[in-house]
């Protein structure tokens, strides 16, 4: 039974608070609504339009007879409290089939994360084989750029078409990109393969989230979303380890990409035979759905993001910040973003429901806060993931494999706390405390990391990174579950894409800025210490290209050079401190509402 807690404010100012059942509310003279059967959609519509003519937002789920909404009246307000998903929705899969289905789609997320970090330790061997050290940044930029630029488009695709077959299509594209990387005969082909893998990986990641949303109840969803965080974290930490292992083995670095093909082939039967085939718009021809896509918006947002991300990734690394190329990219990005805003607000070449950007999300305080916190979490996860191995490679002379293993404490606690967050948030229902506590812990841990030097003990470094990992894990994936709980059912796929966009924009921008800080700060100081060494040699050593430059220096000079590099690494943690502070501040403005488990009070957008 749905329960309404109504706060009535009479003209003379008296108030009363009392529970109403749904039937009592609809038949109440105060509600000014009449309905013969509240379980029928027609009754829901009558109730919606009869409520004293004030702003009203209602969402009905006929399958589980649930209602959520917030009604504003001239002289009263009604807060809806209900048990979300009081009965599990029926699933076609159970037992071992459900286990195989979940495992298979989580493996795709694992491979996507693996590909995002595997090149961190392969750069040296790839440059040794292909040369073109000036194109080194593109190995990461091409992957992240193509993934970020296509996020929103894939969200709309999954909302309009059969998720199963488009998910399989994206897995295939990802595998094609991996095969091209493994067989690449040149740096340009390698970069092309990375771009293709990014497009496919982005689609399969959003597809994984969409399939979980389609096959789980609202109450259990946070737990399954946390499992995507587990697989993502596992792939993130194992990327450098696996890449380092292959680069030092007899089979060679190419198998760091070929391994994706074997895992994908093993999961293929589960994708084909176990993924449920659910059509969100049965009866609508494929061609009609394709014609409704916002192609102008897709092109504009992809081009705008591409120009911006290219500018921040190449600026200060490949080209100076004041170079004509970088300035032109920023100008083009600004113009394209303005054009995109005009096109979306006035629905040019599209209709309001079909816009690539869910503009109404910008009217939701909760969704915007989740977007910002998720973007921050991308920086909190990936800046340490890249900087911790670099620290140990320079200060402990670690090889790629050992440096990757050094990440285990950081990533392990992130994985553990992502799972704890998913399990407890499903039961307790509240989300705001997770963001607040996590943000505070990140600020403390990253501020401590800012203080380390080349003589810092390993236990000290591990302790600080564990503190950062605990904080990050408390909210890194929570935004996906909360966003799905506060938007309409028709907006779930776009919401997943919107939050995923935040995650990858945060990752891409933070890594670009961190790399620029590392390179510019250390190169300037090292050039002063070693005035006779060419800037290209110094840059190559800092970026990870195998070089005996540092190791062959006199002990006192080497100490000064390492001090400059570690000082530059410390500065990158300013981004992590800022991200943690942003999450902390935003969490204070979040609603103290219960969305999952028990009686969930849901605030309207």
Q: How far apart are CA 466 and CA 478, in angstroms?
A: 19
Strands 15-21, 56-61: pairing kind:
unpaired
Question: How many CB atoms within 10 Å of residue 14?
Answer: 8
What is residue 141's predicted lDDT score, i.e. its pLDDT? Answer: 82
Which two structure tokens, joined as six digits, stand for 573? 């943690």
Which residue's structure tokens are 């779930």?
A: 492
- Residue from 205, 136, 213 nearest 174 by CA: 205
What is residue 88's predicted lDDT score, i.e. its pLDDT? Answer: 52
What is residue 4's predicted lDDT score, i.e. its pLDDT? Answer: 40
What is residue 29's predicted lDDT score, i.e. its pLDDT? Answer: 39
pLDDT tens string 501-557: 999 899 889 988 998 898 889 988 999 999 988 887 887 777 665 556 777 888 899
What is residue 456's predicted lDDT score, i.e. its pLDDT? Answer: 92
Q: How far apart are CA 583 and CA 436, in angstroms?
A: 7
Which residue's structure tokens are 């999961």?
A: 267
In which residue ranges of the chain is pLDDT below 70?
1-91, 400, 543-548, 597-605
What H or E segment, with its residue span, contains residue 4? Answer: strand 3-9
**C-alpha Rg value of the chain to the nearest Å:** 26
Give CA 440 to chain center in angstroms: 20
Q: How far apart are CA 226 and CA 417, in angstroms?
A: 9
Q: Are 594 and 216 in contact (CB under 8 A)?
A: no
What is residue 233's predicted lDDT score, i.e. its pLDDT? Answer: 80
What H or E segment, with its residue span, contains residue 599? Answer: strand 599-601
Show contacts of 530-536: CB within 8 Å, 24+ apart. 530/557, 530/561, 536/133
CATH topology classification for 95-294+356-519+573-588: Growth Hormone; Chain: A; (1.20.1250)
Question: How many CB atoms within 10 Å of residue 337?
Answer: 17
313: CB partners within 8 A, 6+ apart: 137, 140, 141, 145, 508, 511, 512, 515
- Residue from 265, 272, 335 nearest 307 by CA: 335
Give this prediction's pTM.
Answer: 0.78
Q: Are 361 and 498 in contact (CB under 8 A)?
A: yes
What is residue 597's predicted lDDT score, i.e. its pLDDT? Answer: 60
Which two structure tokens, joined as six digits, stand for 309? 């991300």
Q: How far apart are CA 474 and CA 438, in angstroms?
A: 5
Domain boundaries, the chain: 3-83, 95-294+356-519+573-588, 295-355
pLDDT tens string 341-359: 999 999 999 999 899 998 9
Q: How far apart are CA 143 and CA 136, in angstroms?
A: 12
The two most distant CA atoms of the chain are separated, in Å, by 89
Which two structure tokens, joined as six digits, stand for 146? 């193509």
Q: Are 421 and 483 in contact (CB under 8 A)?
A: no
Q: How far apart are CA 387 and CA 398, in angstroms?
A: 13
Q: Are 229 and 531 in contact (CB under 8 A)?
A: no
CB environment 258-294: b (16+ within 10 A), e (fewer): bbbbebbeebeebbeebbeeeebeeeeeeeeeeebbb
Q: How far apart are CA 236 and CA 229, in angstroms?
A: 10
Q: How far is CA 407 from CA 240, 242, 404, in A?
A: 9, 13, 6
459: CB partners within 8 A, 6+ apart: none
Question: How many CB atoms within 10 Å of residue 17?
Answer: 9
Q: Are 477 and 229 in contact (CB under 8 A)?
A: yes
């Amino acid at each position: 039974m749905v329960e309404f807690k109504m706060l009535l404010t009479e003209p003379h100012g008296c108030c009363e608070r009392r529970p109403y059942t749904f039937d009592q509310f609809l038949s109440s003279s105060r509600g000014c609504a009449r309905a013969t059967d509240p379980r029928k959609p027609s009754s829901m519509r009558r109730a919606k339009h009869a409520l004293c003519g004030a702003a009203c937002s209602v969402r009905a789920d006929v399958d589980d007879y649930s209602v959520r909404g917030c009604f504003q009246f001239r002289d009263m307000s009604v807060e809806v409290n209900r048990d979300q998903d009081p009965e599990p929705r029926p699933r076609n899969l159970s037992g071992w089939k459900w286990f195989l289905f979940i495992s298979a789609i989580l493996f795709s997320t694992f491979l996507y994360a693996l590909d995002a970090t595997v090149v961190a330790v392969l750069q040296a061997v790839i440059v040794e084989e292909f040369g073109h050290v000036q194109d080194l940044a593109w190995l990461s930029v091409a992957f992240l750029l193509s993934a970020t630029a296509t996020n929103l488009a894939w969200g709309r695709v999954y909302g309009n078409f059969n998720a199963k077959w488009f998910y399989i299509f994206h897995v295939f594209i990802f595998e094609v990109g991996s095969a091209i990387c493994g067989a690449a005969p040149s740096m340009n082909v390698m970069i092309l393969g990375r771009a293709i893998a990014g497009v496919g990986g982005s689609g399969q990641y959003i597809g994984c989230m969409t399939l979980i949303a389609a096959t789980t109840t609202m109450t259990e969803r946070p737990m399954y979303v946390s499992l995507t965080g587990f697989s993502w974290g596992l792939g993130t930490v194992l990327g450098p380890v696996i890449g380092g292992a292959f680069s030092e083995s007899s089979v060679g670095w190419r198998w760091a990409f070929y391994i994706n093909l074997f895992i994908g082939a093993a999961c293929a039967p589960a994708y084909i035979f176990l993924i449920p085939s659910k059509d969100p718009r049965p009866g609508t021809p494929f061609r009609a759905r394709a014609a409704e896509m916002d192609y102008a918006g897709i092109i504009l947002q992809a081009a705008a993001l591409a120009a911006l991300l290219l500018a921040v990734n190449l600026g200060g690394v490949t080209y100076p910040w004041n170079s004509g190329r970088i300035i032109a990219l920023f100008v083009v990005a600004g113009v394209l973003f303005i054009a995109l805003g005009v096109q979306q607000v006035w629905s040019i070449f599209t209709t309001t429901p079909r816009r690539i950007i869910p503009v109404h999300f910008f009217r939701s305080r909760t969704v915007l806060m989740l977007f910002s916190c998720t973007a921050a979490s991308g920086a909190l996860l990936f800046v340490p993931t890249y900087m911790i191995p670099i620290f140990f490679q320079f200060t402990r002379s670690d090889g790629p494999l050992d440096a990757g293993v050094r990440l285990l404490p950081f990533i392990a606690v992130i994985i553990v706390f992502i799972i704890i967050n998913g399990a407890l948030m499903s039961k307790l229902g509240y989300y705001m405390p997770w963001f607040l506590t996590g943000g505070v812990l990140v600020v403390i841990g990253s501020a401590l990391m800012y203080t380390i030097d080349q003589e810092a003990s390993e236990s000290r470094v591990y302790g600080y990174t564990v503190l950062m990992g605990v904080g990050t894990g408390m909210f890194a994936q929570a935004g996906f579950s909360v966003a799905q709980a506060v938007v309409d059912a028709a907006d779930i796929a776009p919401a997943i894409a919107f939050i995923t966009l935040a995650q990858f924009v945060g990752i891409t921008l933070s890594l670009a800025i961190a790399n620029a800080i590392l390179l510019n700060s250390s190169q300037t100081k090292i050039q002063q210490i070693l005035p006779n060494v060419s800037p290209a040699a110094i840059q190559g050593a800092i970026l990870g290209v195998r070089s005996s430059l540092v190791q062959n220096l006199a002990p006192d000079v080497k100490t000064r050079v390492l001090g400059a590099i570690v000082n530059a690494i410390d500065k990158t943690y300013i981004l992590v401190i800022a991200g943690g502070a942003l999450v902390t501040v935003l969490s204070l403005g979040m609603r103290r509402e219960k969305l999952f488990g028990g009686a969930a009070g849901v605030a309207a957008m």
